Amino acid sequence: MEDILKNLTIEEKLGQLTMIPPFFYIGDLKKEVFGALTELKLDEKKIFLTGSVLGIQNHEEMNLVQKTYLEKSRHKIPLIFMGDVIHGAVTIMPTPLAQACSFNPELVKKGASESAKEAMSKGLQVTFSPMSDLVRDPRWGRVNESFGEDPYLNYVFSYATVKGYKSEGLLSCVKHFAAYGLSEAGKDYNTVDLSRINLFSYFLSGYEGAINAGADLVMTAFNTFEYVPATINKYLLKDVLRGKLKFKGVIISDYDSLLQTINHRTTLNDCDAAIKGITAGLDIEMASSSYLRCLSEETKKNPELLKLIDEAVLRVLKLKEKAGLFKDPYKKKDLSLDTSKALKVSYDLASESIVLLKNENLPLNKKTKVSLLGKYVSEKDVLGPWSWHGDPNNTDELSKYINAYYKSDFEIFEHYDIEKIKKTEHIILAIGETRHDSGEAHSKADINISLHYETLIKKLSKLNIPITLVLYTGRPLVITNIVPFVNNILVHFHLGSMTSKVVADTIYGINNPSGKLPMTFPRHIGQVPIYYNHLSSGRPYQETDPYTMKYIDISNEPMYEFGYGLSYSKFKYSNLEITNKKATLNNLPTIKVTVTNESNIKGKESVLMYIKDDFASIARPVKELKQFKKIILKPYESKVVEFKLRKEDLSFYNQDLKKIVEKGTFTIYIENLYTELELE
Ligand code: NOJ
């Protein structure tokens, strides 16, 4: 690659650091000259210098763009094609937040490898996934793309996702570095302000998981960190990403985020942004062209920049080599994909991602006379945000799987045929958010279930027929007012291609739900941000003392906490044991717990182990998830689940940002049991 680099002109090098959409190579530039092209300010010569492409429809388009480009290019370095395959390309998997409910990294990995095959068949070499931003505010529209509020879960699922992509040879780009999930008040693109210790302790772990699994690129975030936009933040990119996380791959901006530094009022103009970008360590700029337009001139004034440019270009060339583009720049044919395996994986993943929050009557007997109501009765568009090539026409509607006595996709009570509903024994109400209610730029100030639904549910409840609510949503919603008026609640964060079958199979007990929440459901919107692993406070809540941490108008308790989720089986936890109560780091104990299925229904259970550091030199969370295991239990079967404690389970970042372990006592919690550990 060094040889190729040597032969490039400065302009050709800068081209390698520029990414634009495919249209520019194959569209009619004359017609478009007033559109996006003017924004990019690139003439035809410069367009054919650029090095990477954002998004592609299919392999034919990819081949056409590549061919057109290579014919006009002097150096013949192929373009690399990147795009957002977030939870599937053709076959849609559950969204990342839904996948996190499964607590099953093996399945998540399988899902990613199926998605990788499909993405590559479309001509992509890189996916902009996983989104490893830790989230704490359900108002933020993008929580759906995340793995939720827990740093360990974020690590594990980011790791599994990248491994899945890699298994098929798809390169991956983890995003958005860093802490984009902390956009203030859940408003997309808003200020992010957090301390370094908070960043290190909670927000880095997802990116770290992806990088440790071998993610090839990192995308910078739209937000600032310590008042400097992430895209030009030297501390974030050099000290943290390259230094601490030892990331060696390519750093790419988010869409236009380099030029947005002008709006942040931290750069004067395009050329200032370009200098600050390359100096901070940004390799590729996405959807803008300031490097290509400015940096050649700048290197004359500041030859130091040349070295940085060369390093960046070398990283890009190595990425292209890794993608196999120098061997074969084309995608020979769209493998006539057999999607049956992907659909099976999508079903398996979805079946473990649906969460049972309340249960009085489920599973239903197939003979039960059912009214099937709500907008999702006949809706095929159940794929969730970012479903890209996924075609809703290839999915089934819920009514296909439920043999209802009365079906209606109306949502207005007055329009229901009450007489027909009255003749049935059970109401299934399938309602909630659409794919357009979450995603980028889709933040909401009000995450209460709408008044309209509340009224509808209260009216239906007067009929004295048991109600099962199936809630489709991209984020935790406030459902406090309706919980008492329904008998059963199944919730999911958009399950993808197999949604309807999984929902029906779960209602009828063909699937026994095992999902647990990766993000807390608040009781009231005023509690947001709310997350389980918060600090203790100097005045922790005590009912008898008014001057303790609480609200005077609502309770502190969430509606459903992180980790909550029911099963049709009845699991009992007993015999929590620790092999040695006193330990040193060389002799850490194993924790054992017995889990018994006390029912006659086979089920899966995620066993979660939390630890509380009882006393430390800095304030520590009330508890933190440290390990988990998912097990299958036959009717009346018992299993002993073991967790070997690891040094990292007891460690934390101190004020000097060093990861340390302090001696003392720790409490270990599994379900309703706990034990003490003394570290000497
Ligand atoms: C903007 C989004 O923030 C990012 O996640 C995505 O990968 C890029 N657009 C490219 O589509």
Ligand 1 atom with minimal separation from the 222 CA: 3
| Average pLDDT over every residue of 37-44 | 78
For residue 467, the SS3 value is strand
DSSP 358-382: E-SSPSPPTTS-EEEESGGGS----
Residue 494 in this model has a pLDDT that exceeds 60: yes
Atom of ligand 1 nearest to the CA of 175: 5
Runs of H (alpha helix) within 323-355: 340-351
- Across the range 110-139, mean pLDDT stands at 97
Report pLDDT for 42.
86
pLDDT at 36: 47
- Say yes or no to pLDDT of 31 above 70: no
**What is the 297 CA–ligand 1 centroid distance (Å)?**
30
Q: Among 82, 84, 207, which is best to mutate for testing ligand 1, by the most ligand atoms less than 8 A from CB?
A: 84
Q: What integer is the mean pLDDT of 269-281?
A: 98
Alpha-carbon span 615 to 620, nearest angstrom: 8
Distance 284 CA to ligand 1 centre (A): 14
* Choice from 254, 257, 288 to test ligand 1 binding pocket (greatest atom count within 8 A of CB): 254
Top mutation candidate among 19, 142, 219, 260 for ligand 1, by most atoms within 8 Å of CB: 219
Give me the pLDDT at residue 338, please.
Answer: 79
- The pLDDT value recorded for residue 331 is 86
Least confident of 99-103, 169-173, 177-181, 339-343: 339-343
Q: What does the mean pLDDT of the chain come to?
A: 96
What distance in angstroms lies between residue 440's CA and the mean position of ligand 1's atoms? 8
> If you average pLDDT over residues 527-541, what whole number do you get?
97
Which residue lies with its CA nearest to atom 3 of ligand 1? 254
pLDDT value of position 352: 98
Q: Tell me if residue 429 falls in helix, strand or coil.
A: strand
In the predicted structure, residue 463 carries a pLDDT above the cut 90: yes
Least confident range from 57-66, 124-133, 494-503: namely 57-66
- Ligand 1 geometric centre to CA of 551 (Å): 38
Q: For the chain, what percent of residues have pLDDT higher than 70?
A: 98
Distance from Cα 569 to the centre of ligand 1, integer Å = 41
What is the pLDDT at residue 140? 98
What is the number of the ligand 1 atom nearest to the C-alpha of 180?
Answer: 3
Pocket test for ligand 1, best of 128, 143, 231, 386 (most atoms within 8 A of CB): 128
Please report the pLDDT score of residue 325 as a whole number: 98
pLDDT at 387 over 90: no
* Residue nearest to ligand 1 atom 4, measured at CA: 254
Q: Which residues have any ligand 1 atom within 6 Å of their CB?
A: 84, 128, 175, 254-255, 440
**DSSP labels for 545-577?**
BSSSS--SSS-S--SB-TT--B-SS-EEEEEEE
pLDDT band at 34 (very low <50, low <70, confident <90, very high): low
For residue 594, what pLDDT is reported? 98
Query: Which pLDDT value is given to residue 30?
Result: 59
Which pLDDT score is estimated for 388?
76
| Mean pLDDT of the 189-207 span | 98
At residue 39 the predicted structure's pLDDT band, cuts being 50, 70 and 90, is confident
| HSE value, Cβ hemisphere, 13 Å, CA-based, for 535 | 11
Mean pLDDT of all residues in 343-358:
98
* 369 half-sphere exposure, CB direction, 13 A CA radius: 9
- Of 126, 440, 442, 443, the residue with max ligand 1 atoms within 8 A of its CB, to mutate for a pocket test, comes to 440
Give 54 Cα–ligand 1 centroid separation in angstroms.
10
Give the number of the atom of ligand 1 that is nearest the alpha carbon of residue 128.
7
Report the pLDDT value the prediction gives residue 394, as an integer from 0 to 100. Answer: 87
Please give the distance, rounded to the nearest whole angstrom, from the Cα atom of residue 175 to the centre of ligand 1: 9
The residue contributing the CA closest to ligand 1 atom 7 is 128
pLDDT of residue 429: 98
Compute the distance between CA of residue 377 and CA of residue 406 in angstroms, rounded to an integer. 11
SS3 state of residue 670 = strand
What's the mean pLDDT in 395-417?
Answer: 94
Amino acid 390: pLDDT: 84
Q: How many Å apart are CA 138 and CA 531, to the nearest integer?
A: 10
Span 194-207, average pLDDT:
98
Cα–Cα distances (Å) from 376 to 166, 396, 463, 470, in that order, read 35, 11, 21, 9
> Could you tell me the CA-to-CA distances from 357 to 251, 365, 567 in Å, in that order?
41, 19, 9
Which domains are seen in the chain, by residue range?
2-26+43-322 (3.20.20.300), 340-527 (3.40.50.1700), 571-679 (2.60.40.10)
Phi, psi of 116 (to 5 degrees): -60, -45
Please state the atom number of ligand 1 nearest to the C-alpha of residue 131. 5
Rounded to 5, what percent of the chain is helix, strand, coil?
Answer: 35, 20, 45
591-640: pLDDT as tens digits: 999 999 999 999 999 999 999 999 999 999 999 999 999 999 999 999 99
pLDDT at 520 over 70: yes
Q: 338 Cβ partners below 8 Å, 6+ apart?
A: none
The residue whose CA is least distant from atom 1 of ligand 1 is 255
Measured from the Cβ of residue 677, the count of other Cβ atoms closer than 10 Å reads 22
Q: Active-site residue numbers?
A: 254
Taking only the tens place, the pLDDT of each residue in 56-100 is: 889 999 999 999 999 999 999 999 999 999 999 999 999 999 999
pLDDT of 643 > 80? The answer is yes
Asked whether residue 28 carries a pLDDT value surpassing 90, the answer given is no
Give the residue whose CA is nearest to atom 8 of ligand 1.
255
Prediction pTM value? 0.97
For residue 145, the ligand 1 atom closest to its alpha carbon is 5
Which residue's alpha carbon is at the smallest distance from atom 10 of ligand 1?
255
Cα(657) to ligand 1 centroid in Å equals 30
Which protein residue has the closest C-alpha to ligand 1 atom 9?
A: 255
Q: How far apart are CA 346 and CA 68, in angstroms?
A: 37
Ligand 1 centroid to Cα of residue 292, in Å, is 21
How many CB atoms are closer than 10 A to CB 277?
33
From ligand 1's centre to the CA of 435, what distance in Å?
17
- Cβ distance 663 to 650 under 8 Å? no
Q: Which of 284, 222, 212 is nearest to 251 (CA)?
A: 284
User: Which ligand 1 atom is at minimum distance from the Cα of 287?
Assistant: 10
Instruction: Please identify, by atom number, the ligand 1 atom nearest to the C-alpha of residue 55.
Output: 11
